[in-house]
Amino acid sequence: MRLRIALLFLTVLLAARAMAQEVRTIDGEKFIAHQVKQGETLFGLSRHYAVPLDDLTGANPAAAEGLSIGQMILVPVKAQSRRELKNAPELGGGGLLHTVARKETIYGIAKKYGVTQEDLRRWNPDLQYGLVVGMVLRVETASSIAAPPLAVQPAEADSDLFHMVAPGETLYSLGQQFGLSTDEIKEANGGLPEGLKAGQYVRIPRGGSGGAQEEPAGKDATAAPLSSEVRHRIAILLPFTQASDQESPANEEDPRQNPATEAAVEFRAGVDIALDTLRAQGLNADVYVFDTGMKPTQWNDLFKSDQVRGMDLYIGPFHRAAIEGLAKVAGGSPIICPVPQSNKVILGNPTVSKALGGRTDRLKLMARYVAYNHARDNVILLKPDIFSERDLQDLVARELDQALAKQSGRMRDSLLWVGCGRRDVSKAVAMLVPGRTNVLVVPSEDVEFVTTVLGKMAPLADKYPIKVFGLHAWTRMNTLDVQALVKLQVHVPANAFLDLASPRVNDFIAGYRARFRNEPGEYAFLGYDVALFFMRAEMLYGESFPQHYGEVAAKPIYLDFSMVQLGPGNGWNNAHAVMLEYRNEGLLKAR
């Protein structure tokens, strides 16, 4: 009798869910049609519908490249687990809403979703009073390490198209229709291992050999009609000149000898190109460019004047002390720190946003990446005896240990770390295991030690499968052996990535060359993306735009944005990071 009642209850539950959603039948198989909302993740949809990730991506090949707002996802009903669906979490605000059941603990719930207990408490302040049956807990799936990084990437606005495959359509016919090669369509849809199926949705990428879908940098196909009634006042503050009491550059005819000046000039050029894009979209703004110089005497004099007051948005300055000084006179208007800075610049400054994340953001990504992909491998943390790097080593060890603890089937219960000398990694060599992937995590920015690791491990790669995870600083160590980096499959985390194969990037480069008779550097790309994102935010939402960061639809070419506020009373940090891998073709996004 009880079993019959339970089955009846489950049937009613399944029917209620189905009634609330559109169910389609494709080739005799039933699918729930779900339209993706802002912030939702593939992992979150998998848990809500009680469908394995592999089945979800199998039915939606376009999802293998990430979710987009408005994208239609087909959920295969036959793949749903009736047992898990009974207590599946609801979707809410881009995350999941978990209803606490009997005998559940904070530890168990955190482990279930691959998040930390600290995060769970931060998202749910009521947990300070204890866990109660029936309580609904918010879970931000973007922070989970229980799925691949792409599966926990929140859905964002996208200029790509999504096409429902009609009966009889082929890759060739779609290529002809949209001006793309068949390889380009396959690449945008996870390779389409099962081919095209009528009724499924495929991603049609912007750009490609046919050029029918790609808008060059300087245009945004996703831009909605914008009101131009409001006129914005925007200030760009950059360190163009040195103080008069500083030594002149060696070549007085070339004022760009100073690295900061070089960066400022490049950044300003990138901003100018972005302004062309934004004005075509409807930006109505007066843009003022100020020279903050490179010393407090220069920017303090500027801030004491009335020139910089009354702006709606400030981009810059580069220096932390200058930003803190500007915050005192900016009158609560948003300030964007456009260059790498520690999080100290946003602590206690709620109007300040960092355009670039810090080292901690990169290391957290690396820990999650290693844990998800290599928990069952021989993971070894190398800790060289370098006093100045002990805090860095402890941070990496803590993040990696926490990430590995959430993975089942790991090779060992606790993180294995090995002490090393600057020129001696023999203890690490002794821990290598033949026939098993050996993952060496090397949290060091010491050139001598990094060179030692590469030099000792590269000759052993034929005998022991070895993969090395290093730091972003390695990309600037010009003396490292490139062949060793490739042979050891060295991975490093970064805040941004420039894809030189992208048509949009090449359009930008060509436009920059024609306009400025020079080659764009890192700061030119940074200037373009920062101006494009934050000026568009100001254009759409005014000075309250930090509360709408997730709704800003921009198409950057170098730097993606995932803005997170570091608690009440603090500013915003761009937590986005990406894993890069040394390959024969160069430093590319990790596979």
Query: Each residue of 116-147: pLDDT tens digit?
Result: 998 899 899 888 888 999 999 999 998 898 88
For residues 481 and 209, the model is more confident at: 481
Rg of the chain taking only CA atoms, in angstroms: 26
For residue 219, pLDDT beyond 60: no
Domains 232-357+502-553 and 360-494 share a fold: yes
Q: Please give the average per-residue pLDDT across 141-167, as a whole number.
A: 82
Asked if 584 contacts 498 with a C-beta cutoff of 8 angstroms, the reply is no
Q: Please give the average per-residue pLDDT across 364-369, as a whole number.
A: 90
Strands (E) located in 409-480: 416-420, 438-441, 466-469
For residue 270, pLDDT beyond 90: yes
For residue 398, pLDDT beyond 50: yes
Q: In one letter, which amino acid is 1? A: M
Q: pTM for this structure?
A: 0.62
For residue 571, pLDDT beyond 50: yes
For residue 28, pLDDT beyond 60: yes
Q: Please give the average per-residue pLDDT across 55-67, as a whole number.
A: 84
47-57 pLDDT per residue, tens: 999 999 989 98
**pLDDT recorded at residue 236:** 95
| Confidence at 229, pLDDT banded by 50, 70, 90 | low
Distance, CA of 449 to CA of 73 (rounded, Å): 48
For residue 299, pLDDT beyond 80: yes
Q: Please give the average per-residue pLDDT across 58-87, as a whole number.
A: 87
**pLDDT recorded at residue 372:** 87
For domain 232-357+502-553, the question of CATH label 3.40.50.2300 is answered with: yes
Q: What is the CATH number of domain 360-494?
A: 3.40.50
CA dihedral 561, 566, 572, 577 (to 10 degrees): -20
Q: Where are the domains of the chain?
A: 2-158, 232-357+502-553, 360-494
Q: What phi, psi does 313 have (nearest 5°)? A: -155, 135
236-248 pLDDT per residue, tens: 999 988 655 444 4
For residue 216, pLDDT beyond 80: no
For residue 27, pLDDT beyond 80: no
**Two tokens, residue 495:** 């805040």
**pLDDT recorded at residue 159:** 65
Q: Please give the average per-residue pLDDT across 88-101, as a whole number.
A: 90
For residue 221, pLDDT beyond 60: no
**pLDDT recorded at residue 480:** 93
Distance, CA of 160 to CA of 68 (rounded, Å): 9
**Mean pLDDT over all residues of the chain?**
84
Q: In one letter, which amino acid is 57? A: T
CA dihedral 520, 522, 528, 533 (to 10 degrees): 170
| Confidence at 257, pLDDT banded by 50, 70, 90 | low
